[in-house]
Structure 1
């Protein structure tokens, strides 16, 4: 299954990933500068949340597209149970 993102969806996911990228760069700088552990962990948690949100947005889009594929009979050779199992594995990989 290829994931096709519309303009607004793509922009949202990319913004979240860029935010996480900036936060991770900040965490690296903070560690190199010997900053307070609590501050570092706070920034690391924020980066983790940004990555999670980007992943969940991708999965939500994938679920929406898969439902459309199933409804229109274009399930790429997968039956609905196989598709559900594959999507469940993807979802749980972020948990």
Structure 2
């Protein structure tokens, strides 16, 4: 008997701001720009891409492209998305 596989969307697991905070902190700790962009995209989908688009003044399609693993969002876009999801980028000394 074949095993049935289901698509998993990590956005479904991000139900609270605490979960989002841990998810984003983990992404930023990697230092991988593609992974960070994709993580921001996952959070934006969890919060609702349409509402994020409205809050940032950017088109949904642009957000989907920028916030993908192959995307390269500008710092302006990144800050706007972070603000729209209720988070901020902070600097801290590297360990």
TM over 0.5: no
TM-score (norm: length of structure 1): 0.37
Q: Per chain length, whose mean CA-contact separation is higher, i.e. which structure has more relative contact order (CA < 8 Å, sep 6+)?
A: 1
The structure that is helix-richer by fraction is 1
TM-score for both structures, normalised by structure 2: 0.37
